[in-house]
Amino acid sequence: MKTVQTLTKMKQAGEKIACLTCYDFSFARLLADAGVDVLLVGDSVDMVAAGKTSTLGAAMEQMVYHTACVARGSGSALLVADMPFGSYEADNKDAFGNARRLIGDGGAHMVKVEGAAAADCVEFLSARGILVCGHLGLTPQHLHRLGGYKTQARGEAAAGQLLQDARRLQECGAAMLVVECVPPPAAAAVAETLTIPVIGIGAGAGCDGQILVLHDALGLYPGPSPAFAVNFMQRNNSIRGAVNDYVTSVKTGAFPPAG
Ligand code: KIV
């Protein structure tokens, strides 16, 4: 069974952590069998499975349902579930109740919240025994405030702010951190500074692990995919082969390409 302690030891040993999003039982079994370390039931489910144009409409019921589906097939992978927009920002007690549903009813091991402003919530949940993953950089739940899906933490001051926010989340008890769509040197500085595992998406090779949206990694999503995503089906002739290729590429450092 992969635990947060397993992932922290992997970071310390320099072994890269392979993560993918996952939304159903069959894929959970396939990904876990291929050696994916972390399965994230992302609120991206509302885009890739439900066909919406953003993650903002994802509901708790939906997240609990998909988390429970994934939990039945997740094997030894660590299972993380997204707290959807509106489920944790306003009230820490509500956040606890919603995290409890994802863990108690859905079977998640850890929940994920977006943004530096969630630090208090991270502290509240962590103090009550809940494993929390932070998410900084491009936080899709703040799409409108950010003005679109754009690279974040550009420039020295913004990279410094990213590092400060990451430190604060760790101090508040975050057990893991996702950094999305930030310049590779900024993400590498976060990974070097923090003791918790830092998982990158469009954030370069200096992170402790990588994550992609499954439908981007398999070229399944009909909408636009981010420029950093690689479709592993283009060089494999089966889904199993593509997922094995992704895991090997992350573990050997071939993905993402340096530079
Ligand atoms: O919802 C999601 O799929 C995510 C990943 C992009 C990290 O948060």
pLDDT digits (tens, 9 = 90+) for 194-217: 999 999 999 999 999 999 999 999
Closest CA to 130 of 91, 166, 89, 83: 83
Instruction: Give percent of the chain above pLDDT 90.
Output: 99
Return the ligand 1 atom nearest residue 114 CA: 8
Q: How far is the CA of 76 from the centre of ligand 1 (A)?
A: 21
Q: Please say whether the beta carbons of 101 and 64 come within 8 A.
A: yes
> What is d(CA 56, CA 115) in angstroms, rounded to the nearest whole number?
14
The mean per-residue pLDDT over the stretch 220-244 comes to 96
pTM of the model: 0.98
Give Cα 111 distance to the centre of its chain: 10
> What is d(CA 118, CA 136) in angstroms, rounded to the nearest whole number?
10
pLDDT digits (tens, 9 = 90+) for 6-47: 999 999 999 999 999 999 999 999 999 999 999 999 999 999
- In which band, very low, low, confident or very high, does the pLDDT at 258 lie, cut at 50, 70 and 90? confident
Mean predicted lDDT score pLDDT of the chain: 98
One DSSP character per residue, 166-201 reads HHHHHHTT-SEEEEES--HHHHHHHHHH-SS-EEEE
> What is d(CA 195, CA 112) in angstroms, rounded to the nearest whole number?
18
Residue with tokens 């009813």: 105
The mean per-residue pLDDT over the stretch 83-112 comes to 98
Answer yes or no: is pLDDT of 4 > 90. Answer: yes
Instruction: Please say whether the dihedral angle defined by the alpha carbons of residues 6, 197, 70 and 101, taken in this order, is positive or negative.
Output: positive
Instruction: Please say whether the dihedral angle defined by the alpha carbons of residues 141, 142, 146 and 148, taken in this order, is positive or negative.
Output: positive
Q: What is the pLDDT of residue 13?
A: 98
- In which band, very low, low, confident or very high, does the pLDDT at 86 lie, cut at 50, 70 and 90? very high
Q: How far is the CA of 25 from the centre of ligand 1 (A)?
A: 18
pLDDT digits (tens, 9 = 90+) for 106-157: 999 999 999 999 999 999 999 999 999 999 999 999 999 999 999 999 999 9
User: Would you tell me how many other CB atoms lie within 10 Å of the CB of residue 50?
Assistant: 13
Q: What is the pLDDT of residue 259?
A: 67
Measure the N-to-C terminal CA separation of the chain; round to a whole number of Å: 34
Q: What is the pLDDT of residue 128?
A: 98
Beta bridge partners of 200: 179, 210
Catalytic residue among 15, 171, 180, 192: 180
Q: How far is the CA of 44 from the centre of ligand 1 (A)?
A: 6
Indicate the top mutation candidate among 27, 135, 146 to test ligand 1's pocket, ranked by most ligand atoms within 8 A of CB.
135
Give yes or no: 171 in active site. Answer: no
